[in-house]
Amino acid sequence: MKHSVILSIGSNHKAEINMQRTHEMLGKVMTDTRFTGIIETEDSEGGGDSFLNQMALGDTEMPFAAFRAYTKKLESILGRTPKRKAYGIIDIDIDILMFDGKTMKPYEWEQPYVKQLIKELQ
């Protein structure tokens, strides 16, 4: 069964490389995927480097729990750790914003970059 997914993807460390690797690895579990353009934003917590942000829309055969576990594993493979996060280094951040039409992180939808990028997916 196909599940529709909207993701938010961001990075502030080796961002271009990490986002490209994310695209490749998401391609293993997603089909009909469209990515928005990339925009740069300041660190919302004020302590780290600026971020490159992007959104993706696509389908997956994976149920929610398995897909979420896959995205968390992907973050780990690309170097994300609690210690690095504490230092403001975010190698990759993948948030599932919507799964099968259900909003997963309502507060993320209020982020200015999400409001801007979602228009590219409509």
How far is Cα 78 from Cα 21, in angstroms, rounded to an integer?
8
Instruction: Classify 67 in phi/psi space as left (phi over 0), alpha (psi -120 to 50) or beta.
Output: alpha
How far is Cα 89 from Cα 98, in angstroms, rounded to an integer?
25
**Domain extent for 103:** 3-121
Q: What is the pLDDT of residue 49?
A: 80
State the pTM of this model: 0.94
Number of domains in the chain: 1
pLDDT(44) > 70: no
Q: Is 85 exposed, middle or buried (0-12, 13-18, 19+ CB in 10 A)?
A: middle
- Give the pairing type, strands 3-11 and 39-41: unpaired
In this structure, what token pair is assigned to residue 113? 């970059």
What pLDDT, in 10s, does the model give residues 60-88?
999 999 999 999 999 999 999 999 988 88
CATH of the domain at 25: 3.30.70.560
